[in-house]
Amino acid sequence: MIRRTTLFLTVVLLAASGCAKQPPPAQQTPGHTERPAPARAVPATGLPPAQEILAFARAQLPLQPVRMTGTLKARAPNGHVKRTRNVEMELDWGAKPARATYRILDEKTGAAQVLEMVWKSSGPEYRFKANGAPADMDPSTEIDGLGLTWADLSFSFLWDTAARTEGAAKKLGSDCFVLTVPRAGKKSLRLWIEQTTGRLFGAEEKDADGTTQKIIKVVSVKEFDGLWMVKDLDIIRPAEGGRTSLRVDTVTVETD
């Protein structure tokens, strides 16, 4: 039987997170969705479809609204910090449909970028503002020279309807489903999702030639307000030798 743990993956990441305490059914937030059934065990004749695996992974996200603050730092190959931005995330994955707001703030200039996302059954909807004014935005473009995209930060791949199951493999000693998600510019994102818990154990982006462009790596986790969350996350860029670090400083969970 597949073990039911509530796990925070992010963004976002989004990514290989820790365990969150699952609230009892009586405390479920009104107007929020119930958790879907877990992915089935691997049948003898094949593997579950990608959408079933992703639904299982999403089912591990907290039902309660969560607010997080932290910093994003883009580092050069020598470790020098090239750019720092404050980040605020308001995540309501238990809402129907799921939704989130991401804010990138430049403390020195006061510049602000805000992305609001809603994951509808027809696909994600975006509302973007730069310094308070509505603006066009491509989720696959880099955020303010930080070396990661809005798609990376929001872990939108967990809702991607174009994902496909590639196979099964060991990752960090655990049996994982391996999924591939197409990305802009003929790139692809490979995901390793643990078969029994739905945890994201790894993510790597490759270009059309198969060269690794990004590696998403969890550095540390910590318990915040009763939830085990990612504390430090790195997005490594092997081709250039740089990396972007996300450090989570505060987490607030709404319990009403």
The mean pLDDT of 98-107, rounded to a whole number, is 96
Domain 11-18+48-253 has CATH 2.10.240.10: no
| Residue of higher predicted confidence among 20 and 151 | 151
Q: What is the pTM of this model?
A: 0.79
- What is the model's pLDDT at position 226? 67
Residue 137 has pLDDT above 50, yes or no: yes
- What is the model's pLDDT at position 206? 95
∠ at Cα 24 (247, 63), nearest 5°? Answer: 40
- What is the model's pLDDT at position 256? 65
The mean pLDDT of 230-235, rounded to a whole number, is 85
Q: What are the helix and strand counts (H, E) for the chain?
A: 2, 15
Residue 6 has pLDDT above 90, yes or no: no
For 54, the 3-state DSSP assignment is helix
Residue 187 has pLDDT above 80, yes or no: yes
Q: What is the mean pLDDT of the chain?
A: 81
Residue whose entry in the numeric block shows the structure tokens 């999403």: 58
Please tell me the distance from the alpha carbon of residue 95 to that of residue 33, in angstroms, as a whole number: 6
Return left, alpha or beta for 52; rule: phi > 0 is left, psi -120 to 50 is alpha, else beta.
alpha
- What is the model's pLDDT at position 253? 86
- What is the model's pLDDT at position 63? 85
For 57, the 3-state DSSP assignment is helix
Residue 14 has pLDDT above 60, yes or no: no
- What is the model's pLDDT at position 172? 83
Written as six digits, the tokens of 206 are: 């490759």
- What is the model's pLDDT at position 89? 95
The mean pLDDT of 186-211, rounded to a whole number, is 92
> pLDDT tens for residues 24-82?
333 344 444 444 444 444 443 489 999 999 999 998 888 889 999 999 999 999 999 99
> pLDDT tens for residues 241-255?
999 999 999 888 887
User: If DSSP states are collapsed to H, E and C, what string results for 198-252?
Assistant: CCEEEEEEECCCCCEEEEEEEEEEEEECCEEEEEEEEEEECCCCEEEEEEEEEEE
Please tell me the distance from the alpha carbon of residue 29 to that of residue 33, in angstroms, as a whole number: 8
Written as six digits, the tokens of 24 are: 């009892």
The mean pLDDT of 159-173, rounded to a whole number, is 92
